[in-house]
Amino acid sequence: MRAPSNALSFKRRLLRWFRRAGRQLPWRATRDPYQVLVSEFMLQQTQVARVAEYYPRFLKRYPTVRDLANAAPGHVREAWDGLGYYRRADNLHRLAQAVVKHHDGRVPDRPEVLRTLPGVGPYTAAAVATFAYERRAAPVDTNVARVLRRAFRPRLGNGMRGDRMLRELASAILPRRGKAAWQFNQALMDLGATICEARKPECPVCPVQTACRTGKAGRGRGLGGVSERASVERAP
Ligand code: SF4
């Protein structure tokens, strides 16, 4: 897929805003793949503020992938207490065991290999690849999908599914350098979580308004009825 005509301007504005106003989150201060994985599992179905509270505690108890792999299942669930959706804890535990057994304790860096691990789908695989390894991968969660749909208003074609089309769009507009891709992906998430919200997009104060097809057309208000359909794993 080719990048839309407004992609360059969108990218520049978004990155400029992120460098000034991006959220300081504990998992953004690390590139440790295990720590990034833990944060991504926690962020599936749990709000950022709550994860920020539990994340350091969990890592203190299980500082490495080997520590987690060697833990008793009951203890892992106990450490997960307060986050809910315990299936994530079970999957993370099994994932740690698989990493130790099949990957010599090193979390893989390629999305296609990450996807073979328990509890890892397309979103988490791309998230770990970019947030831990600064690889050029595009994780598309609910927030990112919403921003992309509004900013670029892509049309489905050739029988392509909506989620696949959004992933291809996200890849087409991704910066070439891994470090910039890391920032761009984090920035898209911040924009969707704080300004381009589902029910109330704040177009008048949005840093990308002049590069956004919805914001430019003055259609930001009253978007509550726009379909928010997206095939994603994480919705912080
Ligand atoms: S201008 Fe409005 S619709 Fe476009 S990205 Fe910003 S908040 Fe979302």
Ligand 1 atom nearest the C-alpha of 151 is: 4
Return the minimum-mean-pLDDT range out of 73-82, 152-161, 206-215: 152-161
Structural domains of the chain sorted by starting position, each given as residue range(s) with its CATH number in brackets: 7-23+137-225 (1.10.1670.10), 32-131 (1.10.340.30)
CA distance 205 to 171: 26
Q: What's the pLDDT score for residue 223?
A: 56
Is the pLDDT at 16 greater than 50? The verdict is yes
Atom of ligand 1 nearest to the CA of 207: 6
Residue 62 contacts residue 68 (beta carbons within 8 Å): yes
Tell me what the mean pLDDT of segment 200-212 comes to.
96
Q: Which residues neighbour 87 within 8 Å (Cβ) at sequence distance 6 or greater?
A: 119
From 206, 213, 226, give the residue whose CB has the most ligand 1 atoms within 8 Å, as the site to mutate: 206
The angle formed by the CA atoms of residues 105, 112 and 48, to the nearest 5 degrees, is 75
Q: Which atom of ligand 1 is nearest to the CA of 201?
A: 7
In this model, does residue 236 exceed pLDDT 60? no
H-type helices in 32-177, by residue range?
Answer: 33-43, 48-61, 65-69, 73-80, 87-103, 111-114, 122-131, 142-152, 162-172
Residue 6: how many CB atoms within 10 A of its CB?
18
Structure token pair of residue 181: 């891709």
pLDDT computed for residue 198 by the predictor: 94
Q: Ligand 1: distance of its center to the CA of 205 in Å? A: 9
Q: Which residues contact 132 (CB under 8 A, 6 or more apart)?
A: 31, 32, 33, 36, 37, 107, 109
Give, using CA atoms, the residue closest to atom 8 of ligand 1: 196
CA dihedral 100, 105, 108, 114 (to 10 degrees): 30
Residue 234: per-residue pLDDT: 61
Distance 209 CA to ligand 1 centre (A): 6
For residue 158, what pLDDT is reported?
A: 60
Q: Is 40 a catalytic residue?
A: yes
* Residues contacting ligand 1 via CB (< 6 Å): 147, 150-151, 195-196, 201-203, 206, 208-209, 212, 214-215, 220
Q: Tell me which residue has its CA closest to atom 4 in ligand 1.
A: 215
Residue type, 190: D
- Spatial distance between the Cα atoms of 126 and 134, rounded to a whole number of angstroms: 10
Mean pLDDT of 66-89: 96
The answer on pLDDT for 226 being more than 60 is no
What pLDDT score was predicted for residue 95? 98
For residues 157 and 66, the answer to whether their CB atoms sit within 8 Å is no
Question: Alpha-carbon distance 236 to 193, whole Å?
Answer: 8
Q: What is the mean pLDDT of residues 8-29?
A: 96
Distance CA 130, CA 229 (A): 24
Ligand 1, atom 2: closest residue by C-alpha: 203
CB proximity list for 4: less than 8 A, separation 6 or greater: 152, 154, 169, 172, 173
The per-residue pLDDT for 45 is 87
